[in-house]
Each structure stands twice: as structure tokens, then as C-alpha cells.
Amino acid sequence: MDLLTKITTKSARIGIIGLGYVGLPLLSAFHRAGFNCLGFDIDPAKIEALHRGENYLQHLGESLVRDMKSAGRFDATADFSRLAEADAIIICVPTPLGRHREPDLSFIQQTTDEIARRLRPGQLIVLESTTYPGTTRQIVLPALESRGLKCGTDFFLAFSPEREDPGRKDESTQTIPKLVGGIDDRSGQISVALYQSAIRQVIPVASAEIAEAAKLLENIYRAVNIALVNEMKMVLTAMGIDIWQVIAAAATKPFGFQPFYPGPGLGGHCIPIDPFYLTWKAQEVGMPTRFIELAGEINHNMPDYVIQRTTLALNDRGKAVNGCKILILGLAYKPDIDDVRESPSFVLIERLTQLGAAVEYNDPHVPATHRMRNHDLQMTSVALTAQSLRNYDCVIIATDHSAYDFQMIADNAALIIDTRGVMCRVICKRDHIVSA
């Protein structure tokens, strides 16, 4: 049976490499569509959890893995020799930045080498990891063809960007339209058929490069617009004007304006990182990327702005940061999830600690910190009660988790630094609330 027939009859086996925020929901989408799914990851803790039927990503719901396990047609492994069992292999591994803000493609390269060693005729490989235009053709394709099989006839290769937004309730992997660009026409057709069998709307584009660049445009658009409102926040705050009320007012325009919201800095695996994949690649064609660099500079400096506002507010009360007790509310980079990657809260904690403050945090979704690429903090979330709040000189609202009772916080904290504009939503006396 050829691959297209296997896909349309759902007898194809789907292998997903990298079972994180992107890979696990994608595996679940194919499983729900009726496919037999095999997940691969190098993290043995994840594989063990999946074998026990446990989901390690809170926001996907407790029953996600249990349901797959009880339905069957699902296995997970760290044994890459099993790649030959899959008819379609989708790569969802990390694409971070290196120490000098250069793309770190080592995860993609490692994974591609694993696949190349077992590649067999009739397989489809799709890269989903966000990366610069040209990665699929210039890096993945030569590695896969290195043992003699030809793309477009022996095997097939495409890029399809993930548009996952962890924690979002109104959209899911199945409902978010999916771009697909093949390395050649046949690869494009087969990968479109694959995604159409699990995802509501699939949009074929003319090449893998268009799909790669479209993903970067989406994320750069967000990074630039977030930088713009962050700059507007700093300007308007200096004028005594509330940026959040300004955005709410502007957002009443039915066309030509999309609201973006300021914050203490960027977080997550996408917006702080992906734009710099393009700035790096743009050097190859001698093109400057001034918008992206400027947006990066503004967004990167936002934690310093928050610290400056905190310092001034404490000073107004006759206090110094040095020796103060400060509580950070929210370690996750956005509401109602446990994702702390690139979270500006870590920068706030580290810098305030360096300035001599005793810093603690509360996050209902993050009971303890763990070692990460750029931060190594050993902390646990402290209690958040009316009484505990009175122990702090200052409370910084870094994330507006819906579990937070902001009225209670406003009633009990001595000083609040509000980076999310939440306090204008609660009725309270405002002289101890500082927008930052």
C-alpha cells in the first residue's frame, strides 16, 4: 500500500519526535483522528509518565494521556531504532538561541541524523520546529538524502509550522488552520493529505520556505507590536495616562487596530527567540533587520523598567530595595499555564536579589523552580493570603493568573507594582498602586 493510501485509510503509523508543548497535543490530535501514534523523546521522565498514562502538561487536561492509553493505538519511546515503524515522522524538537543569540539547530540536526540512519522508502518527514527559511531544504534535506534515497520519489519532506498557544481555550491543535509547504509538489500533496486527516483546515503553500517564513512573520509581528505598546506604556505612564484604558478605548475601532498588551518583558519559547532566527539568516543576504532589533531591545529592557519603577516607588516611601521583602506574583510568562520558559519573572527575581532584596514568589501553577538553560534558581512558591501579603514591602504583579484575587491583594499589600494593568479592574484605593 502506498503512503497516500495508508494516510487516507488511517492505517499509516504517525511518529512524533519531541513530546513537549507542541508535540504532545499534536500526537493527541492524530490519535483522536484514528491513527496509530508513536511518540519519541529523549527525556526518560516524559516517556515513563506517558507509559503510566499521566499528562505532564497541566493545560492539556488530566485525562489526555489516560484516554489515549486506554484507547490503545498509542506508545511512547526513547528508542529511536523504532523510527522505522512510522510512516510519517513529525519533528517538534526545541529551536533555542545559542549564547551569542545565534540559532541553535543542534536538536534538529540530531533528530535528522537519527531519522536518516533508519530512513526507508515511502516515509514522510515533516519539520514543525520554528526556524529560519531554508532550514528544511538546506539542513534537513541533504542529511536525509545522504544515504542515497531521493526526496519526492523515495521519501517525502515538508515544513509545517506549529501555531500552538498553550492555555488558549477557544482554539486547539485541531481547529487552528495549518500551513503546509513541501520541498517538492509530491511532498506537499502527501503532507497536506496527512494534516487534512486530523486538522480542520489545511492551507497548502508553494514551498517549505514560504511556510518557514510565514511562521517567523507571525511571531515578529507580535514581537514588534508588543514592543510598541511597551514603549507607549513608558511614555503614557510618564504623562500620568493609563495605557490599559487607552488600549481598551482604541480597541473599540472595528477595523485597522488590533490590541496588544504591555507587560514586564517577553516570555515563552517563541516571541523572545524566533525573531532572531531571521536576523541571523538575514546577514547572509546582507540585509539589516532594524525593526526586529529595536523591538528586541525594548522588550528585553522591560524588566529593568519594572525595577526602576519599583525602586522609585519604594524610595517615595522612604525605603530602599536593599533590605526590602518583595513578592513576585506569577512565575509563568502568561496567565493560567505552568510554562516558565524565558519568563521575565526570573530576571526580576535575580536582579532584585542582586540589589539586596529578599525575594519570594507565588504561582499556583508552578510549585517549585527547576534548573533551566539561562536560570538556576532553587525556590518554592510561598502562600498567598491576606496575612502573608502584609509581610512584604512590595508586591509585583508579573502574571495575571485568573486564580488571583486582585481585590484581596489590593486590600492587603502595602505597595503594588502592577505590570499587567489588572488593578484598574478592581475597585480599591489607588495611592499604593504603581503602574509599571
Ligand X SMILES: NC(=O)c1ccc[n+]([C@@H]2O[C@H](COP(=O)([O-])OP(=O)(O)OC[C@H]3O[C@@H](n4cnc5c(N)ncnc54)[C@H](O)[C@@H]3O)[C@@H](O)[C@H]2O)c1
Indicate if 324 belongs to the active site.
no
Instruction: Give the nearest distance from C-beta 20 to ligand X in angstroms.
Output: 2
Told to check if 179 binds ligand X by CB under 6 A, we report no
Report yes or no: 229 and 298 within 8 Å, Cβ to Cβ.
no
Question: Alpha helix locations (H) across 274-419?
Answer: 275-282, 290-300, 302-316, 344-354, 386-389, 406-412
181 beta partners: 159, 205
List CB contacts of 52: < 8 A, sequence separation 6 or more: none
Rounded Cα–Cα distance for residues 10 and 13 (Å) = 8
Q: How far is CA 372 from the centre of its chain?
A: 15
Instruction: Give the nearest distance from C-beta 171 to ligand X in angstroms.
Output: 12
Catalytic one of 37, 270, 324, 394: 270
Q: Using CB under 6 A, which of 41, 87, 336, 363 touches ligand X? A: 41
Which residue, 103 or 421, has its beta carbon nearer to ligand X?
103
159 beta partners: 127, 181
Told to check if 333 binds ligand X by CB under 6 A, we report no
Which residue, 57 or 409, has its beta carbon nearer to ligand X?
57
Told to check if 40 binds ligand X by CB under 6 A, we report yes
Size of the site for ligand X (CB under 6 A): 26
List CB contacts of 318: < 8 A, sequence separation 6 or more: none
Told to check if 418 binds ligand X by CB under 6 A, we report no
Which residue, 40 or 155, has its beta carbon nearer to ligand X?
40
Told to check if 48 binds ligand X by CB under 6 A, we report no
Q: Hey, which residues between 79 and 108 contact ligand X (CB under 6 A)? A: 92-95, 107
162 beta partners: none
Which residue, 269 or 309, has its beta carbon nearer to ligand X?
269
Report yes or no: 357 and 327 within 8 Å, Cβ to Cβ.
no
Cell of 124: 514522510
Beta strands 156-159; 178-182: pairing state: antiparallel
Told to check if 281 binds ligand X by CB under 6 A, we report no
Closest residue to ligand X, judged by C-beta, is 20
Q: Hey, which residues between 111 and 150 contact ligand X (CB under 6 A)? A: 111, 129-130
Neighbours of 396 (CB within 10 A): 29
Put residue 61 in one of left, alpha, beta given phi > 0 → left and psi -120 to 50 → alpha.
left
Told to check if 270 binds ligand X by CB under 6 A, we report yes
Which residue, 6 or 215, has its beta carbon nearer to ligand X?
215
Q: Hey, which residues between 282 and 311 contact ligand X (CB under 6 A)? A: none
Catalytic site residues? 270
Interacting residue ranges for ligand X, rule: CB under 6 A: 17-23, 40-43, 46, 92-95, 107, 110-111, 129-130, 162, 164, 166, 269-270
